[in-house]
Amino acid sequence: MTLNNLIKYRCRRGLLELDLILNNFYENKFFHLSNEKKKLFLEFLEMDDNDIWHVLDSKHYSKKYNSLVNLIYPKNQKEIESEK
């Protein structure tokens, strides 16, 4: 299984919101990522659904995933900037 196929498969989640968000990201932005970011995304997808949701929906997520989260779910970035 190629890296792209593995990531596409792992974007399918039990939590509907994550399924929609992650599959939308995969279809629209994933192929523009560097190989390094693709590997980081795969690592991100290894977390449990609730942990992924917490990272995406929190303003205080791990700096390790900062750039990735802003690409996947830019809602946080807009809210953070509006609070400054």
- Dig out the tokens for 55 from the structure: 């990272």
In percent, the amount of the chain with pLDDT more than 90 equals: 52
Tell me which residue range forms the domain holding 74: 3-83
For the chain, how many structural domains are there in total? 1
pLDDT of 84 > 50? The answer is no
Per-residue confidence band for 61, with pLDDT thresholds at 50, 70 and 90: low
pLDDT of residue 56: 86
Identity of residue 51: D
Q: Report the distance separating Cα 31 and Cα 35, nearest Å.
A: 9
Number of neighbouring beta carbons within 10 Å of residue 70:
15
CATH number, domain with residue 17: 1.10.150.250
With b meaning 16 or more CB within 10 Å and e meaning fewer, what string describes 17-38?
ebeebbeebbeeebeebeeebb
- Tell me the pLDDT tens digit for each residue of 12-53: 999 999 999 999 999 999 999 999 999 999 999 999 999 999
Q: What is the pTM of this model?
A: 0.79
Phi then psi for residue 59, to 5 deg, are -85, -10
